[in-house]
Structure formats: structure tokens, C-alpha cells
Amino acid sequence: MELNCSPNILAKMIDHSLLHPTLSDDEIRHGCRLAMKYDVAAVCVKPYAVRIAAEVLGSANIAICAVTAFPHGNSTASAKIFEAEEAIRAGATEIDAVVNIGKVISGDWTYVFEEVRALNNAVTANGAILKLIFENCFLNDSQIIRLCDICSENHVAFAKTSTGFGFVRQIDGSYHYHGATDHHLRIMREHCPPEVKIKAAGGIRTLKDLLRVRQLGATRIGATATAIILEEARKMASHGGI
């Protein structure tokens, strides 16, 4: 495994995820301080936590990313827009919004297109960028490709694989999800133009995982294992990157 870039470059691929439903305010503050230590791209927080993140991060060169309609995407379009705009007013400059998954599966592409267009227009009009979360583990390849087309047609900044919370009930009654798979990343990179970037999320826990999705075209990842990933990258860099 070759690093082929500095740990600092890899750090700026990471949105440090602080989205678990049980996180306390102090744990969010600790996560923001960790993000500052490693100088990552962004912290990804729940909408109410944007102000907490802003207080901790101050003038640090780390974006605040707020999720919208997370994790199931079931809110109305107007509610998604309201939530996004409120988060931006509080200090967010990036919005990770979950698409209406049920409408995608229903094939109501007019609804999906109009929702994405309205949400992207609202976010960009307020000086932020949109990352549209597909939740690929619920979708088939043709649905993923159509969502890539919609991102392209609406000039969405990022197409994102997953929430990390898209647990699917299996035949045996257990719940698990696939996260950012190689297959889905290849589809997304192939069917999104270069100006629509790819964010991989779900199951990226090691440096090897990060380098794998980077090779497949992802330029951002969502991760909770930030320290593990970047400490390994630093160790490799100190030994010549091999």
C-alpha cells in the first residue's frame, strides 16, 4: 500500500462525522477539537449542533457540515430547505441532505428532480454547497445512475453514497448496511461529470479503506475513525510512505 500523498492532503478529504444519536454536547465539542488537531476538511454535525461546532472551531479552516432530513430523507422539500437554511444561518457552509428514498424507489423522478433543484438552489443562494446522499444500499444500479444524472443536471457539488445509518432488515431479522462499496463508487464516478464530486461514507475505518475509495474517485469521505486513519498515514509517511 502506497500513500502517494501527504497525511495533510488526506486529512482534507475527511468530514469528521459527529452524527450518532447518543452524542452529548461535550462529546461533540471533543470531536470538534479532534477535527482541529488533524485539520480535516469538515465536521459533520446534526442541525442543532452547528452552533456548538461554530463556538469550538472559531476561525479554524474547517467547514461545518450540517445534515438535513437525516437519516431517512422523509421530510417534505420545504422542510428540508428550512432546515438547511437555518443551519447555514447558524454557521454551516456545507449541507448533506438525504434524498427522498421512497420517491426514488417509486420512480417519481419529477418529484425527486424538483426537490433536488429547489434544495440546491436554496443552499447555493445562501453561500453553501450541497452533498446529496443517495443511501445506495436501498437502491438498484439504475436508480443510482438516475440520481447521478439529477445531480449533474442541477450542478450539485457532491453525490454521497450513504448516511452510515441506512440499516436494511435482512431475512434473518438482523440489520446491517453495506456503506461505500467499490461497485457503487465506480457507478457514481462513471455517471457523474468531473464537476460533481463523490463523497464516500459508511464503513471507512482504516487508511487502507480511505486509499481504496480515493483510488475509485472519492474526494471526500465521512468517517468517525479519523484519528486511526490519520495516525496510520503519519506513521507511513515517516517511513517513506510505503
CA 176 to each of CA 76, 133, 137: distance values in angstroms, whole numbers, following the listed order:
27, 18, 10
CA–CA gap between residue 104 and residue 124 (Å, rounded): 23
CA–CA gap between residue 127 and residue 8 (Å, rounded): 26
Of the candidates 134, 115, 8, the one whose C-alpha atom is nearest the C-alpha of residue 71 is: 134
Of the candidates 166, 87, 170, the one whose C-alpha atom is nearest the C-alpha of residue 129 is: 87
Grid cell 428540508 — which residue?
80
Catalytic residues: 96, 160, 199
CA–CA gap between residue 189 and residue 154 (Å, rounded): 16
Whether 235 and 25 have beta carbons less than 8 Å apart is answered as no
What is the Rg, in whole angstroms, of the alpha carbon atoms belonging to the chain? 17
Q: List all residues 6 or more positions away from 191 whose beta carbon is below 8 Å from its beta carbon.
A: 144, 145, 148, 149
